[in-house]
Amino acid sequence: MWPLVLNLFLYFPEDKREYIPAAISFAVFFLMAVFTMRLIIVISRRQEKEAKRLEEQLLGKREERKEPPGV
């Protein structure tokens, strides 16, 4: 039963040139995924640096006023 069902969805062309468009589209989407991931990492690092800068700025103001850390 399973081989019959799988044969409905599997297609292996005799002419191997039919793989070229699939390979090109795979490469394009793979490169876009890599670029997007790198962009997310760069933006995340930038936001992390900004958050640390703001945290240090806030802690510096708190120390100047000599407030307890829980306030």
Residues 6+ apart with CB under 8 A from 56: none
For residues 10 and 35, which has the higher predicted lDDT (pLDDT)? Answer: 35
Would you say residue 71 has pLDDT above 80?
no
Q: What are the helix (H) ranges across 1-71?
A: 2-9, 19-65
- pTM of the prediction? 0.64
pLDDT per position as a tens digit, 34-53: 999 999 999 999 999 999 99
Q: Which residues contact 36 (CB under 8 A, 6 or more apart)?
A: none
